[in-house]
Amino acid sequence: MKKKTYKGIDKAELKDKLADKSKKLAQFRTEVAIGKTKNVKEGRELRKEVARILTELNAK
C-alpha cells in the first residue's frame, strides 16, 4: 500500500481531509468497542493518516 502524500494541497482541503479522517477514526473506535470490526489494523492506518495531515498543516 502506497503512502499518500499531502504536499501541494492547500490548507482548506487538508482541514477537510483531517475532519473526515478524524470522524472515521472515531467511528472505528466505537466499532472496535462493540466488536463490529474485524480489521484492527485499520485504526493504525487512520492514525498515521491523521498524523501525516497534521504534519503537513503545521509545516505550512
| 6-60 confidence digits (pLDDT tens) | 888 889 999 999 999 999 999 999 998 888 888 888 889 999 999 999 998 988 7
pLDDT confidence of residue 2? 52
What is the grid cell recorded at 18? 483531517
Classify residue 21 by burial, with Cβ atoms within 10 Å: 0-12, 13-18, 19+. buried
Is residue 52 a contact partner of residue 4, using CB atoms and an 8 Å limit?
yes
Tens-digit pLDDT profile for residues 19-33: 999 999 999 999 988
- pTM of structure: 0.80
Residue spans of the domains in the chain: they are 11-59
